[in-house]
């Protein structure tokens, strides 16, 4: 089934982005904020089915030098379990392998059980030396 998927590096529309986030169980975001966020991404990869429907995506954000963050790893529930999350991560990691300077810090926030996927790409837990923190508006 993966052969019926088109991978691109074009941002989805904000409406598509919000719909995929909702379908994948990610937190809701504001439409206007989503438009700003997508346009300020360092790198985006998307997956679409043959009907051009967005079925998966991932983004890299950051300052382009010292710090990068992997965000928005999302696969539509009807396509989960097919290795698409792994494929998205492979594309993002290929970008970082070829563009992130030596010493760059790559971070992500992992929902369980997706943390198992990220450990396969070399990510490690920060605790107990440090812990992730956030503040939401």
> Rounded to two decimals, what is the model's pTM?
0.92
With the CA atoms of 109, 25, 94 and 9 taken in that order, what torsion angle do they form, in degrees rounded to the nearest 10? -130
Question: How far does CA 6 lie from the centroid of its chain?
Answer: 17
For each successive 10 residues of the chain (137 residues), what is the average pLDDT?
Answer: 82 98 96 98 97 97 98 96 96 98 95 89 91 87
- Predicted confidence at residue 134, as pLDDT, reads 86
């Amino acid at each position: 089934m993966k052969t019926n998927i088109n991978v691109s590096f074009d941002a989805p529309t904000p409406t598509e982005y919000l719909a995929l986030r909702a379908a994948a169980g990610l937190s809701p975001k504001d439409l206007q904020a989503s438009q700003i966020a997508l346009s300020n991404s360092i790198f985006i990869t998307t997956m679409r089915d043959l009907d051009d429907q967005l079925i998966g995506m991932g983004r890299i954000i950051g300052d382009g030098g010292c710090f990068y963050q992997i965000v928005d790893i999302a696969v539509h529930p009807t396509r989960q379990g097919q290795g698409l999350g792994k494929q998205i991560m492979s594309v993002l990691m290929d970008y970082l392998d070829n563009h992130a300077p030596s010493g760059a810090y790559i971070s992500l926030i992992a929902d369980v059980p997706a943390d198992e996927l990220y450990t396969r790409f070399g990510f490690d837990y920060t605790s107990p030396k440090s812990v992730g923190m956030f503040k939401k508006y």
